[in-house]
Structure 1
Amino acid sequence: MSSDPWGRVDETGTVYVRTADGEQVVGSWQAGSPEEALAYFERKYEGLVVEIGLLEKRVQTTDLSAKDAQVAIAHLREQVDAHHAVGDLDALRARLDKLVELVDKRREERRAQRARQTDEARQAKEALVAEAEELARSDQWRVAGERLRALVDTWKGLPRLDRKSDDELWHRFSHARSAFSKRRKAHFAQLDAQREEARRTKERLVAEAESLSGSTDWGPTAARYRELMSEWKAAGRAQREHEDDLWNRFRGAQDVFFAARSSVFAERDAEQAENLKLKEELAEEAEKILPVTDLKSARAAFRSVNERWEAIGHVPRDARPKVEGRMHAVERAIQEAEEAEWRRTNPEARARAAGLTGQLQAAVDKLTAQIEQARAQGNNAKADKLERELEGRQALLDQALKGLQEFGG
């Protein structure tokens, strides 16, 4: 008989293994010595040790599923429970029990991790939905469109939730994208309609601008071009492929007209500058008529100057008030001289002036006498009142006397 700490072989060749529950039959060995029998079943034990060690390592270091780990543990436990090996089988059972605990722990950890990931995915998708719904109301078409496409890529990278939750969130997300696309499509359809209307309007403006380009009615045509430009700006932009061509035609028509006008105006400006020089010489000649000493010769001289003045054409607008003002000043001085002469030689006016002067002198004399009488009677209040009235009459008398002197005495 042969034995070791964990097993023995009896004289009949039966091999036993020692366990906490007592000896268990391992098998029968007839092919060799008892030592060889123990060595054979010890090797089988070592094989189980290696297999359990490998399974422990896989559970600890790989993503082996709990289900696969449980199947492997059950298979090894069957082999250990079959008692076909010699060794510390109880220790192997204890290791398998710990392995079961580890697998259960890992399974709970993974379940908790999956729950966290699912919760994070739900929050992420809800955030994507909220942003998409906000973008659906945006008018920043290019930026919002690019962002929505980026959100789709982000969504694809997130794990799925339960079918109901995932479908509900996707429905909201998809609806927001569709709403944005619908609004964008409507916007650009309206924009296309507006640009088509702008094209038709600008073609009409171009046609009129081109028809006016040969006009020589400078003022009204320039004013109409300004109106056309205002209408052009108010029309908005046409389609890109038409806008530049229409503008070039419109601007070209204006350039033709204004170039012709500038050429004509340049000639006119030169002519007006020469006219100004001539009128300044005439204004200087007219100013030499003053002061008026001989009214008849002054009128004749001014008439001669004025006839030559009228024969000269326009002067630059900004110089007109000054040079015309000089002529008007001479004309007014002659008119004033004529009025003075008329007053001096008009008998009726002289008689009226003399009569008025006599009336005022009589009134002044009467008031003076009344004042002296009031003073003599001690009625100073009445005298003061009469003196104030006398001051007014005296002023009128002085003025009348001055006017009478203009008639020669």
Structure 2
Amino acid sequence: MSATESESPKPTPPVPAPPRVPGPPRVAVAPAAPSAPTIAGAADWGRVTEDGTVEVREGDDWRVVGQYPDASGDEAIAYFVRKFEDIAFKITTLEQRHAAGGAPAGELTAQAKHLVAEVTDAAAVGDLAGLRERLDVLTASLAEASAQEAEQAKELLDQAIAERTVLVERIEAIAAGDLAKAHWKQVTAEVTELFDAWQAQQQNGPRLPKSVSQQLWKRFRDARATIDRQRRAFYAELDETHKAARDVKARLVERAEALAPRGVDGIPSYRALLDEWKAAGRAGRKVDDALWARFKAAGDALYAARAEQSAAEEADSAPKIEARTALLEEAKAVADEPNIKRARALLTNIQRQWDDVGRIFPRDKERALDDKLRVIEQALKAREDVDWKKNNPETKARVGDMSQQLLDAIEKLETEKAAAEKSGDKKAAAEAAEALEARRTWLNALGG
């Protein structure tokens, strides 16, 4: 349905939804605040003029909220009562979120302000003043909660600064010690633990003021750098033990460079050499960097050849992509074709042309195009399934049998009802009437 405010042109309401088949009653959960008015009690807050104009009472005045032409007064009132219920539901939800806790008061305050604007001059029928009073109470409560949150945030910030300072003092104490006699495995583990703790506090704790954060980080970074320099100096003295690794890696470089003439076909062998490189151990940072630069350059040449091949394949695929894109445009007509058989014939023809286009590179572009066609295919398949179920002779026969059974039952109940009324048995007549109503509803649901 649609309705407009008084200054907008009159809309044409869409066809209302069909009546629901009676079912088990819903279990309603009572909101924390007073519920919105029912349609039966809407006359206390709204009224409808002969031309479909709906007004809401605010105090002693009436305000136009919109029009609902070509409908009964109850339908018009019901529409704007539902608008009121929507707003009331939002307020109730916000009240419950605030009561439950967990959501920041600032966020809830912004939502409350939005609801205040929504209630003001709302195109709805109900106790709007009551909603505004609830929002006033909620806004005041949120303001108090925001103040409490600010105090808690300050306490958390002070605690975070103290914890970060403890980490700085611990790593500075390590850097100031006699690192020449340090057990480096233990020292490295301790420094790593401190750095992990620093990162955890930085990621999960409150945001520190920039000046404080930078000052603490500079102290932490400088102490960590001092330790790292001492550790590198210590391991530099172990260079003699790295000679074997240097020899192994030098031979790996030569074998990698020899793969260049093989181009793309040399990539699997290069990957195997890379595994050997990783297993060769360290050969000292400077030597490692120099050897790695040559080893990587050999691999880059192989991968550059693969990139050129991929570029050529992509260039070859460009017209294929255009062809399949054009087929996708044609395939849009499948959804617009009301005749399912003709739609299937159209899609089959497109699928045949689709396969004739051939493979497309890179494969992710091919998959993206295939996915779009698959959506069209699945939509048509769904239409075919619905059509089959609708026109399946067995289904029609079952529906016909059930309809006939209901008609027979209705005829019998009408006879029983007439007999009960004639004999003056009011109870039997009422039971027969109730049974008649249920079976007529079932018959209507079957289309009988």
Asked if Structure 1 and Structure 2 have the same fold, meaning a TM-score greater than 0.5 normalized by the shorter chain, the answer is no
Tell me the TM-score range normalised by the shorter chain: 0.3 to 0.5
How high is the TM-score relative to the length of structure 2? 0.37
Rg larger in structure: 1
Relative to its length, the structure with more helix (as a share) is 1
Please, what TM-score do these two structures have when normalized by structure 1?
A: 0.40
